[in-house]
């Protein structure tokens, strides 16, 4: 009986203390901390951290406080497909409220691991062909997100290369078929080369040794150019690709600015950080009750041309004034 009386006193005291708190404080205490998983196909390097920062800043603009009412669990696959699958399973077992997936193979791994947890992808080329969504306006499942490039981007790449190097005879397209998305660009690539009477070279690579042999072989043929496709593999090995292109004096165009910043001749593609800012809005909406099936897949909105003049000079190339005038950035 005495114990019951004591319990009643404690409950009464707690009730009185809580009753004295402002409603916003009570609501904050009652709020559940949400968990977002983020599976990156790349390594935890400076470029990846820029993307993560943009994602977190976007969430904060949406009203979330990382570390307080929101926890983000990052995982980095470092371009390894087997690692992607293991990390996808690991994240799903944490039962997060939503998962951000960077790249086609990462999203494939997440789709295999869950058909219920919402997934927002970025840096995916062909979400319909990859089986992620039923349609762009109505994804229909637990996955939606932001595409990377249209397949026709390779035509623009070749056009820029040809404008810079009128004597082009052949152009190789470098990609890893296991990294996802490369085949999506092949038809526009070969069609564009045919229109310009330029020979197409399909350069599939699976490891650093194949990168070296492929670029060396291309470099032995005069009048060669190179288009590097966006995938986790080419990004992880970008320094090797850039150095070999310089060694064999091959004019090469890359998918993202950070290739040009690292010494690549030029890049044309999306702002690689921007989709992470935009993805934060979708993740926020899902955390507040929206369904991925109702959120349309969105295309990129920002493209940029970056030219590295130092690399052009080393290759003995004179950049046409029209290209310089249209560049978003010129690296001296």
At residue 180, the pLDDT reads 67
- Cα–Cα distance, 232 to 206 (Å, whole number): 11
| Residue that wins the pLDDT comparison between 154 and 302 | 154
Q: Is the pLDDT of residue 232 over 50?
A: yes
Q: Return the bridge partners of 226, or none.
A: 172, 252
At residue 181, the pLDDT reads 62
- Cα–Cα distance, 288 to 152 (Å, whole number): 36
Give me the domains of the chain, ranges plus CATH numbers.
33-148+273-294 (3.40.50.2300), 153-271+303-331 (3.40.50.2300)
How many Å separate Cα 70 from the centre of its chain?
22
As a whole number, the mean pLDDT across the chain is 90
Mean pLDDT of the 301-329 span: 94
- Cα–Cα distance, 123 to 54 (Å, whole number): 15
- Cα–Cα distance, 148 to 127 (Å, whole number): 10
How many Å separate Cα 40 from the centre of its chain?
8
Mean pLDDT of the 239-252 span: 98
Please name the helix (run of DSSP H) or strand (run of DSSP E) that holds residue 200, with its range, or none.
strand 199-204
Please name the helix (run of DSSP H) or strand (run of DSSP E) that holds residue 120, with its range, or none.
strand 119-124
Write the CB contacts of 131 (distance below 8 Å, at least 6 apart in sequence): 111
At residue 277, the pLDDT reads 96
Structure tokens at 295: 């959120």
Read off the pLDDT of residues 1-23 as tens digits, 9 standing for 90 and up.
443 444 444 334 334 443 444 54
Structure tokens at 264: 């690549």
Read off the pLDDT of residues 21-80 as tens digits, 9 standing for 90 and up.
454 443 443 468 999 999 999 999 999 999 999 999 999 999 999 999 999 999 999 989
Read off the pLDDT of residues 92-125 as tens digits, 9 standing for 90 and up.
999 999 999 999 999 999 999 999 999 999 999 8
């Amino acid at each position: 009986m005495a114990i019951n009386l004591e319990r009643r006193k404690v409950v009464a005291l707690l009730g009185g203390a809580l009753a004295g708190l402002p409603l916003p404080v009570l609501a904050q205490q009652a709020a559940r901390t949400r968990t977002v998983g983020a599976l990156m196909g790349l390594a935890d390097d400076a470029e990846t951290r820029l993307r993560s920062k943009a994602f977190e800043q976007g969430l904060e603009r949406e009203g979330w406080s990382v570390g307080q009412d929101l926890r983000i669990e990052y995982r980095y696959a470092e371009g390894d497909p087997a690692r992607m699958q293991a990390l996808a399973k690991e994240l799903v077992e944490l039962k997060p409220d939503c998962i951000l997936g960077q790249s086609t193979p990462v999203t494939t791994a997440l789709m295999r691991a869950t058909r219920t947890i919402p997934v927002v992808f970025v840096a995916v080329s062909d979400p319909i062909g990859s089986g992620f969504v039923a349609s762009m306006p109505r994804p229909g499942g637990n996955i939606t997100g932001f595409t990377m490039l249209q397949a026709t981007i390779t035509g623009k790449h070749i056009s820029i290369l040809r404008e810079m190097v009128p004597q082009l005879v052949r152009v190789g397209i470098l990609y890893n078929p296991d990294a996802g998305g490369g085949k999506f660009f092949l038809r526009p690539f070969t069609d564009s080369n045919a229109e310009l009477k330029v020979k197409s070279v399909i350069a599939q690579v699976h490891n650093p040794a194949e990168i070296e042999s492929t670029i060396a072989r291309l470099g032995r043929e005069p009048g060669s150019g190179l288009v590097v496709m966006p995938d986790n593999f080419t990004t992880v090995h970008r320094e090797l690709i850039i150095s070999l292109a310089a060694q064999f004096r091959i004019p090469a165009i890359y998918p993202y600015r950070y290739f040009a910043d690292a010494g690549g001749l030029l890049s044309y593609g999306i702002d690689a950080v921007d989709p992470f800012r935009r993805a934060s809005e979708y993740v926020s909406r899902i955390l507040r009750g929206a369904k991925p099936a109702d959120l349309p897949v969105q295309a990129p909105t920002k493209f940029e041309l970056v030219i590295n003049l130092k690399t052009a000079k080393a290759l003995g190339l004179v950049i046409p004034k029209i290209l310089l005038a249209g560049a978003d950035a010129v690296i001296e």
